[in-house]
Amino acid sequence: MALGRYVSWFRRLCGPTAPTVDEGVKSEGKLAKVFSSEEDCGSRESLKEVAERIAKEFEFSDVDVRRAVDGFVKQMNEGLRSHGCTIEQLPSFITELPTGFEKGTYLAVDLGGTNVRVCSVTLEGDGTFSLIQGKSAIPTVWMTCDNPSGLFNWVANFVHEFLEQNYPDSLTTAGTEDAQIFSLGFTFSHAVHQLDINSGNLIRWSKGFNIDGVVGQDICALLQNAFTELALPILVTALINDTVGTLLARAYASPKSVHTVLGAVFGTGTNGAYVEQTSKISKMTGSRTGEKGIMIVNTEWGNFDQGMEYLPTTSYDKTIDAGSVNPGFEMFEKRISGMYLGEILRLVILSLVQDPKVDIFDGVAISEMLKLRAKWGLDSSFMSHLEGDNSPDLSLSRTQIEKCIGMASFQDAQAIRIISHAIGRRSARLGAVAVGAVIVHTGCLKRGEGEGRVDIGVDGSLIELYPGFAAELKAALGEIEEIGEGEERIDIVVTKDGSGVGAALAAHVAAKRL
């Protein structure tokens, strides 16, 4: 990104300097004042300078982006050739994209990072669909337990409640000649070694999950067993990752003149799935590759650069990793995803409060700041509020900070926003590394010469709700040499209910094989 454009956005973030006593509450809004080191004095100036110094630790330059893209493409190719690589490149066994003409009613279970959704999806055959859904937060007791069946039994009971509310007849006729058997697509948001379209063994947990006895097990079989125990009229016919589902859903709804190449999630976690030529998936020798010569591949890109050759790192990143359930893994995700961004900011603020040389929060004791003391006490939604605050006196930011931490002055809010912005900006630019690498690797911009457009379906709270995230990601794409002005032909489209509708579409594909 050009320096001028970055400075402009940085100035917009910081807002005007604090009003003086003589000025009262009046502010002229001269953004250039943000970078003046002579207009404030004493400890308050020091606080801003400290914030700007810390913000520089999170910079990720255009050169860094280009270098990381090269490394990402290299690791993508390694994953296509061999199993167990850093970017695992997991085959989905889905060898066609939706046309938009698909019809039928299917169930979907979307097991995400924090919630589970159960959906009934009716594909209308014209690129549209109707949907009934139920959603529930996953109890933390089932996320880190020692019972391998506990989570799946809980999901099955939730599905049973969904059927009771929406399809009660399916339960009363179960086991009879009139029984309605639902085909279900299972969206599972953790790394799986997929064996077929309806079978896959868990490689590892992510997103804070750590359930004993499940790694290496067929997760479809675990869910099917839970359904069978409750005598539910359901067959698990398709297994997909949430990013595969996002890609399928976007392809179903997109104009036929557009080439859909990638589905990506930037939310609690991050990952992407893209359309690959089966001839490049050399590790799949002898496997079913379909008639069209393509297959959707789940990258599991959250584990990119496990050896830390390309990723930036700070002391705060190291603390996050050391205190995680999977130290040394998912290093890319730990710098991007919504699960970790708020915790990075909390660690930075905590270090400021504990530093006797820094004047912040008017010296209030940390013992009174419960959320600041608590691990995961801040989340990415807190940062979203700060990023979206355009008020001249930072009143919105101060309100959010007071809700979560304590009373905040203008200088406190300004400093925290500077740091928060730097953390969020780094996340978006790292996201551009992944998206850009897929575009470079597939050569999709070259295939769509002229005005041909490339479509990317996205989902997740960061890409949808974090102010400026998508724009910063897209701008960084333009700084990648192989993309350049081609960035203008890339459409990044929020794909709502992607994982639910995508699972239904995968179930439709699986049904054609039965």
- Residues labelled catalytic: 189, 204, 242
Report the C-alpha gap between 119 and 505 in whole angstroms. 12
Chain-centre distance for alpha carbon 213: 26
Question: How many other C-beta atoms can be found within 10 angstroms of the C-beta atom of residue 197?
Answer: 23
Report the C-alpha gap between 483 and 488 in whole angstroms. 9
**Would you state the torsion angle of the CA atoms of residues 400, 405, 407, 408, taken in this order, to the nearest 10 degrees?**
-70
Amino acid at 139: P
Report the C-alpha gap between 433 and 353 in whole angstroms. 34
Report the C-alpha gap between 208 and 114 in whole angstroms. 9
Contact 284, 264 (CB under 8 A): no
- Residue 166 vs residues 160, 382, 457: alpha-carbon distances, Å: 10, 36, 29
Question: How many other C-beta atoms can be found within 10 angstroms of the C-beta atom of residue 288?
Answer: 13
Token pair, residue 12, equals 């917009």
Among left, alpha and beta (phi > 0; psi -120 to 50; other), residue 460 is left
Contact 498, 102 (CB under 8 A): no
